[in-house]
């Protein structure tokens, strides 16, 4: 019986692999992007309702988060429209919010639903470093890493159950899988780390996206050094799903020449 079940899971795995338009890599995909975006809208509003959102009209930090995010989103749209890959951002309705939370964290849900926690700003310290963070998180979403992780969780924990069935039969478990896949909050349970491959992809494309928006990608190195130092002193939620180490910084430096090709400083 176990052999049959294992064979079924392997069949589901191979049948459900699709090629990602951004990275070109084959990914497990048991959940459609449109389904995830529908869930994201609901969970995003639920999160904002349960937390203190900083008003971007009266707070310079919140305005900065919105400004940087909007610039990156516009740059990404221009880039993929130019490549004839408009479908990469299909259904995206961008929102950028700063929430009052001492944890150093940030995340992006499908469809461009982004949150930055106030605790992260003491580590970013400047607008360009914030762009590195937002580029990284947006890259995770556009490369569909959360979808990949949620698909893996559905396969492992619910036997490959499709999303609609999982929501109908086990709504709480499915909601937790979604929130965990996107690193939302700390009350959901242990945040599963992204794989090294996913992290490398997010770092690389995050650099490109920040550079396209006019932010110096070289700010990534001192930012991750500050993040690593802060993580050594205390537990940081951002690091629980985004490991920071010497190998990461080495890889970022290796990607820097290509990122600099996209960099056009903003006019002051």
Residues belonging to the active site = 137
CA distance 212 to 266: 10
Indicate the SS3 state at residue 204. Answer: helix
CA distance 10 to 171: 25
CA distance 231 to 217: 22
List all residues 6 or more positions away from 238 whose beta carbon is below 8 Å from its beta carbon.
103, 104, 105, 106, 120, 227
Residue 116 near residue 183 (C-beta atoms within 8 A)? no
Residue 142 near residue 76 (C-beta atoms within 8 A)? yes
The helix-helix angle for 220-233 and 196-212 (nearest 10°) equals 130
């Amino acid at each position: 019986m176990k052999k049959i079940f294992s064979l079924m899971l392997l069949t589901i795995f191979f049948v459900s692999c699709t090629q990602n338009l951004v990275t070109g890599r084959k990914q497990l995909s048991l959940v459609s992007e449109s389904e995830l975006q529908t869930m994201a809208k609901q969970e995003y509003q639920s999160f904002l309702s349960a937390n203190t959102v900083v008003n971007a009209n009266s707070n310079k930090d919140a305005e900065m988060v919105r400004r940087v995010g909007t610039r990156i989103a516009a740059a990404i749209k221009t880039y993929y429209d130019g490549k004839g890959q408009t479908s990469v951002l299909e259904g995206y309705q961008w929102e950028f919010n700063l929430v009052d939370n001492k944890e150093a964290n940030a995340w992006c849900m499908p469809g461009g639903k982004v949150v930055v926690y106030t605790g992260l700003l003491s580590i970013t310290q400047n607008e360009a470093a914030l762009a590195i963070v937002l580029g990284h998180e947006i890259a995770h979403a556009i490369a569909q890493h959360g979808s990949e992780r949620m698909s893996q969780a559905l396969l492992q924990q619910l036997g490959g159950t499709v999303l609609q069935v999982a929501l109908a039969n086990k709504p709480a478990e499915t909601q937790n899988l979604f929130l965990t896949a996107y690193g939302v909050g700390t009350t959901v349970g242990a945040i599963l780390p992204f794989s090294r491959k996913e992290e490398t992809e997010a770092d690389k494309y995050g650099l490109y996206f920040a550079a396209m928006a006019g932010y110096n990608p070289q700010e990534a190195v001192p930012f991750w050094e500050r993040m690593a130092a802060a993580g050594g002193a205390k537990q940081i939620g951002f690091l629980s799903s985004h490991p920071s180490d010497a190998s990461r910084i080495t890889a970022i430096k290796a990607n820097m020449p290509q990122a600099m090709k996209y960099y056009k400083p903003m006019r002051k």
